[in-house]
Structure formats: structure tokens, C-alpha cells
Structure 1
Amino acid sequence: MGNYATYMKQFPNDEGFFGAYGGSFIPPQLEEPFKEITEAYLRISRSHDFISELRRIRKHYQGRPTPTYHAKRISDLVGTGCQIYLKREDLNHTGAHKLNHCMGEALLAKFMGKKKLIAETGAGQHGVALATAAAYFGLECEIHMGEVDIAKEAPNVTRMKLLGCKVVPVTHGLKTLKEAVDSAFEAYLEDPVNSIYCIGSVVGPHPFPVMVRDFQFAVGAEARDQIVEMTGDLPDTVMACVGGGSNAMGMFAPFIDDPVELIGVEPGGRSGEIGDHAATMSYGSEGIIHGFKCYLLQNQAGEPAPVYSIASGLDYPGVGPEHSYLHDIERVKYTTADDAACLESFYLLCRAEGIIPALESAHAVAGAIREAKERDRGTILVNLSGRGDKDLDFVTENYGFGDEYLQDWPSLLG
């Protein structure tokens, strides 16, 4: 077993930095509320009662552990001998990995005596998960979501409202995830005493990058044990999609000190031009956004650049500070998958495995298929971070039912 426990105690430092990245660059009026959150999290994260309650929730409410699945049909279709395995976070309650940290954040809010949960969402999975957590704990919930994403991810908007959540449309800028974060922060500033801002990824000011990573750690820890039980060995490669990067950090963290290749797959979008992708590691540089330092897609004025992804949960100009650090020390390799590869993998998983993935997750599957084609043996473990119910209308209305994207897989076309 790797020494991931040692790594996690070393990073971040007391100021919330992973090397040069992270920290807390926030308005003075938020310094005390964030200090309160940090102290409360550090206290209860070491509490037997808190940990026991969270484990009980995960087992009896969320349905954890989620299985790891051998994608044999896809592996056979690739035909090189390399085997692809999927960590099935799409089977987690609410359909994605997001509930892992949302239940933890809501339990923290309950402990702190907060009455209201405030957050942003892009694809809506974080919004649904937080609305679910709020309903479970009897808390108010307010989710800010860009108008573009509201139209694109309508099923998740309906789910949030059914769960009793107030959905706030964000109408400025590009009307997507970055603007939703801006809007949610502003709402939190109005009443930090009674509310808590529940960030949806390993981003934001300290302590949220470490808090979300810790709550997501269960994903990789389960997958590590499961793949060893299934194959007798660690995987050669572990892969996950990266937007802000919560599902990837949860998947990567338990493998940090193992002899395992780690690959994050970013959204390559339509092209390498500004505004056509959200591939922060490939095209970004050091900057500050939403109260933390990270790799950031920026314009010439040093402001966050416009971004695009077919997957609403990945269209963010920044990335988690821990990802930025792991990139610099070359522990994680970051690559991209464009829209066409994402759609091919989406349809391939539907037809070959009977699994409808989230578009976000399809980026990681696309990366895994590309890697598998270049190998004659070995195993690739992919975090299938969410299911695609939310994407069905958008995909079928804009791209049809897949035949065009499966021309290279004739056996699937009948």
C-alpha cells in the first residue's frame, strides 16, 4: 500500500497551499466566517461521532460502496489486450460522485448551527446533490445556475425544485459555471452567519479544496481495494475527467504514492482557441480566481478567459490547486478529449455496455480508449463520475442517436 496518508497530512499546509497554489484570497468580511469553517472542519473531521455518522449515511443512504466494473465489451472492441475498468459513481445516490462531499458539507453545516446551504452548479449534479443533502438534514438550499446551463440541463433543474431547493438563474456574462460561482459568493456574503457556501469541487479558498478532497477520498479508496481484489494487482493507469477536479482528486489521492500512472482528462472542446475549450492545464497559467491561486485560463488583461465545454460541469476557467501542484511535480499527466471523442465514448458506452454516462465522464472514457489503443496489455481504471440522465435531451436533440459517431465501431451498428 502507498503512503497516501502521509501525503494527505503534508498537503495542504496550514495556510491551505499545495506548493504555490491554493491559499485564501478573500474579502475581509469573509475572513472570520472562513476561519470558523476551517476550525470546525478540522475539529469534527477527527471526531469519531462525525466519521461514524458519515459512514452510516454513505452505507445506508447513498448506497456506498459503489462497484468497480470490467468494461469487457469495450475492452474487446478496442482489441489490443488492454482492459478498461470503470468505478461506477453513476450508481451513487443522485447519480454522481457529488453527494459524497455534499453530505459531508451539510453535516458540517448542521454541526455549526447553519440554517441555509448556498452553492453554484454547472451540470446540475452538485445542485441536485446539495438539495438532496439539505432535504435529508432539514436545511434551506439555494443553488445559483447559469441560464445557459438551466436550459441545457433541464432535468436536473426539475429535480432540484422537487427537492425543495430555490434555483437562482444567473443572467450575466456567459451565463455558465464561472458566473454561477460569482453569484453564489455574492449571496453568501449577504448572510455568512446563518448560511454556509458549499463549494462544488476542489476549488475555492481554504479549507474547501482539502475538505472536498477528503470527502471524495472514498471513491479512490474503494476502487483501489476493488481492482486489487478483481485482478490481483494495482491498475497500470488511473484516469478521471477534470474540470474543477473533485472526482479526479477523490480518485487519484489513494494512488498518489503507488507505482500507478495518473491521468486527468480535460475538455478539449471545439478547438484550441480561447473560448472553444476549458483545458486549463494545457493552455492556462498561474492566476487567482474565486479566492484561490491555480492554473487559470486568462485573457491578455489577466482576467479569467471565456471557456466552453459540451459538458456543463467542466466549463470552468480554473482548476483545483492540488491539481496545479500535481501537474508541476509531474505526478499527474493532464491531457484532453475534444467534443467528438466525448460523444463517441458517450454513444459507445451506451451501445456496448448498456451504461448512459454523463458527458463529463465520457471525456475520461475517451481518454481511456485512446490510451488502450496504444497498449498491448495492462489495465486502465476510469472514474465514471456520473450518469447521463441529465444529458439525454441535449445530446439527442443536437447530435442524434449515435450512428454518425460510431462509424469506426461497425459491429455496434447492426
Structure 2
Amino acid sequence: MRNVLPWREPAPAAGTMGEPLTRGRFGAYGGRYAPESLVEACRQVDEAFREAWADPGFRGALARLLAVHAGRPTPLTPARRLSEALGVELYLKREDLTHTGSHKINNVLGQALLATRMGRRRLIAETGAGQHGVATATAAALLGLEATVFMGERDIERQALNVFRMRMLGAEVVPVTTGSRTLKDATSEAMRHWVGATGDSHYCIGSVVGPDPYPWLVREFQRVIGDEARAQCAAELPAGVPDHVVACVGGGSNAAGTFAGFADTPARLVGVEAEGGAGAARGRLGVLHGSRSLFLQDDDGQIVEAHSVAAGLDYPGVGPEHAHLRDLGRARYVTVTDDEAIAAAVRLARTEGILPALESAHALAWVIRAAGDGELAAGSTVLMTLSGRGDKDVSTLKELL
């Protein structure tokens, strides 16, 4: 059943998507629900990040890496043929054009620099679609660090290209054979591994999930998406700000980074989840992977396995700040099916010559549906973050089409 909650008027306010409250809280969500053995490690990451983020030297070094290595700024591309067909003005923020092919590199370069600053020599990461794993392996190679990436056995099978890329870059890829053998289980294994390796390793978490300070830290490293898009829209759009800002949501890092640039504007923020992984749309309050947020659960409070054709959305919850934005009515969270996402990927490829990642295709599928049923008014301007390119999904699409 689709999430069809009516719009509430957005309530932009100073401080929305700012620093979290005491103990890493976003309203009722967030916190640091970590094993005792990781509390001190999280405190050290928090302290190091605050110092680094206030240091112009650190910010300058990151900005340079993002420019000369990742290829920022990424363009804002008008989807002219598709816009004409839909009756809206659709603009794509092209994170697929970064080095490694997704938004993940923004966060990873920041965390890798932070790890180096802390004297850590190894990065630990989890990955679903493989894009965060590739970005981690890339940053590790660039900065002379070791990398160990945990990946569910099922995702290893369906994202074989990215597994090969990680190994080519020198990373160790550890198959996870427990549970659903997807992103949730890879995250659990990575956190367990970190318990015994806090002295020399930094856990480079890939989304706005996990114990404080990770949801805030990752959002700040991804904020570059929203800040760039805000400036580009001011130069490109007659009104300066789009009517709608749309992004796909698994844990929710590309959406959080995008929304951060528009939280204080009248733009309506829309997060699009997979039908089988709708933590924000259908989740209940719970604790997983170190934070309090919304998760898919059964009547006994046990986590229900998520499903999505897009491995990066195959997560049973959502980052705590997204749960808070939902409660505030500042962002709306909707769902699309696998079939809608696949059809959207094909349509973008054939109208604009862009093959999107299946994760990003979920956001596009909602735009197509909302334009078709009148939820998006004719002539509306829509900014959509195209979080990654679809090379990694060719084998999946080949099987399904």
C-alpha cells in the first residue's frame, strides 16, 4: 500500500538540519546506543570531527580533494525531453558524474581525512550496492590507508562489478553470510569488527545512521550536494528555489545532504523509499545499529527484513534525522515499487541518455507518478538528486527486462 499522506505546509526555520541536540538527538531520535566498548571510540570520533570541522585547514584540504579528485562541483542538468513529457521542469543534480560514480565519495573523502588526522591507518566500512565500498577503497588507496569492507553475500552476487573494483583498489572484501545477507547484516558485522579494532581503525559508516556523531557527521560531509544545488538553482531557476526537492532514501545520506541545502526555503522536501524498505513511511520506533529511529518491525519488536531491487535501499530503517524531519512535517516520505523504479530507469536512459542507479530511479519513479496523477502541478520545478550511475545495475536490469 502506498504512502498517500497529504501534504503539510513546510515549516522552514533557522536551525532545521543544524547541529543535533545534546547526546546526538534529533527530536526523539538519534543518540548513542553503542556497546560499552565503542562508547569511547564514538566520543573520540565526535571530538575529532568537531575540531576538524572548525579548522579552515581541514575544510580547505577536503574542498581541494573534492575538486581535483572527486570532480566537484557536479552539474545541474535540465532533463528537457522528460520535462516536456511530464509537464514539469525537472533538473538533475548529477552525483553520478563524481569519481567512483556516486555521492558516496563526498562522505568517504571527509572521513578518510578525519581518520588520518586521528592517526588511524585502516578504514572499516559496510556496503550494500557497493558504491560506498568502492569509494572507501578509493579513498584508502589515495591516502595510503588499508580498507576492509563488509558486504552481504547476496549483494556480492548481484553487485559483482563493484566487488571486483574494490579488490582492484586493494580493499579486503569480507562476505557476510548471516541474516538476509544484505546491508543490515553487513553493518552489524562491521560494527562488531570495530569493537576489536578501535585502536588503529576508523569505522567509515556510509549513511546517516549509526551512533552519534555519525548521522550528523555524514550529513555534514554530504551537505556539499545541497549547498551546490542551492547556488545552481539560484542561478538557473527564475524563482531561485525549486518547488520540490526529491531524493531516494535508504539510510538517507544523499537525501540528507540535498535537503540540508534547502531546509530553510519553501521547497517541499520528498524522500523516496523502496516499497519493501520503507522505514520512514511505515517504520516504528526502535533501536538498531546504535541509534533510535524508525525501523520495520514485527509485533514482537523484531526487525523485519527489507527488500528492494536496489541493493542500496535494502535497509529496514531510516536515519534519525529523517525520522525527525518526517515528524516535523518538513519532509514527506513516499514509496515506489521495484517495477516502477525499473521502468523509470529505462525511461531516463531513453529520453535523456542517462542510465541511473536503481536507487536513484526510485526518486525518478515518484516524480513520474506524481506528475501523471496531478500531485505535481503543471509547470512545477523539481530538483532531483541523481545519486549514482547505473553501470553497477546492468546485470540486474539484463535479467529483469
- Which TM class, normalised by the smaller chain length? over 0.9
Give the CA deviation at 1:14.
2.8
Alpha-carbon separation, structure 1, partners of 2:158 and 2:352: 25
User: Cα RMSD over matched residues?
Assistant: 1.2
Out of 206, 217, 238, the residue aligned to residue 211 of structure 1 is 217
Alpha-carbon separation, structure 2, partners of 1:5 and 1:191: 39
Out of 7, 27, 30, the residue aligned to residue 16 of structure 2 is 7
Counterpart of 1:229, as a letter, is A
Counterpart of 1:204, as a letter, is G
Alpha-carbon separation, structure 2, partners of 1:369 and 1:4: 29
Give the CA deviation at 1:371.
2.2
Alpha-carbon separation, structure 2, partners of 1:4 and 1:66: 27
Give the CA deviation at 1:319.
0.6
Counterpart of 1:140, as a letter, is E
Q: Deviations over 1:56-83 (max 9, x none)?
A: 10111111000000001111122x3x11
User: Residue 75 of structure 1 corresponds to which residue in structure 2?
Assistant: 83
Alpha-carbon separation, structure 1, partners of 2:119 and 2:346: 45
Out of 61, 66, 77, the residue aligned to residue 74 of structure 2 is 66
Counterpart of 1:45, as a letter, is W
Q: Is the 8 A contact 2:152 2:182 kept in 1?
A: yes
Counterpart of 2:392, as a letter, is K
Note if 1:39 corresponds to 2:41. no
Q: Secondary structure at the match of 2:161?
A: helix
User: Residue 388 of structure 1 corresponds to which residue in structure 2?
Assistant: 390
Give the CA deviation at 1:8.
4.1
Q: Is the 8 A contact 1:23 1:293 kept in 2?
A: yes
Alpha-carbon separation, structure 2, partners of 1:281 and 1:248: 13
Q: Is the 8 A contact 1:286 1:293 kept in 2?
A: yes
Alpha-carbon separation, structure 1, partners of 2:248 and 2:380: 20
Out of 376, 379, 387, the residue aligned to residue 378 of structure 2 is 376
Out of 252, 255, 258, the residue aligned to residue 245 of structure 1 is 252
Counterpart of 2:134, as a letter, is V
Q: Deviations over 1:67-122 (max 9, x none)?
A: 000001111122x3x11110000001100000000000000000000011001000
Structure 2 residues without counterparts, runs of 5 or longer: 1-10
Q: Is the 8 A contact 1:372 1:380 kept in 2?
A: no
TM-score (norm 2): 0.95
Alpha-carbon separation, structure 1, partners of 2:109 and 2:126: 16
Q: Deviations over 1:323-357 (max 9, x none)?
A: 00000011001101111110110000111111010
Note if 1:279 corresponds to 2:287. no
Structure 1 runs, 4 residues or longer, greater than 6 Å off: 2-5
Q: Is the 8 A contact 1:285 1:296 kept in 2?
A: yes
Moved more, 373-382 or 321-330: 373-382
Give the CA deviation at 1:3.
8.0
TM-score (norm 1): 0.92
Count of residue pairs the alignment pairs up: 387
Q: Is the 8 A contact 1:349 1:357 kept in 2?
A: yes
User: Residue 298 of structure 2 corresponds to which residue in structure 1?
Assistant: 299
Identity %: 48
Alpha-carbon separation, structure 1, partners of 2:70 and 2:283: 36
Q: Is the 8 A contact 1:358 1:391 kept in 2?
A: yes
Structure 1 residues without counterparts, runs of 5 or longer: 269-276, 401-414
Give the CA deviation at 1:282.
2.1
Alpha-carbon separation, structure 2, partners of 1:260 and 1:148: 38
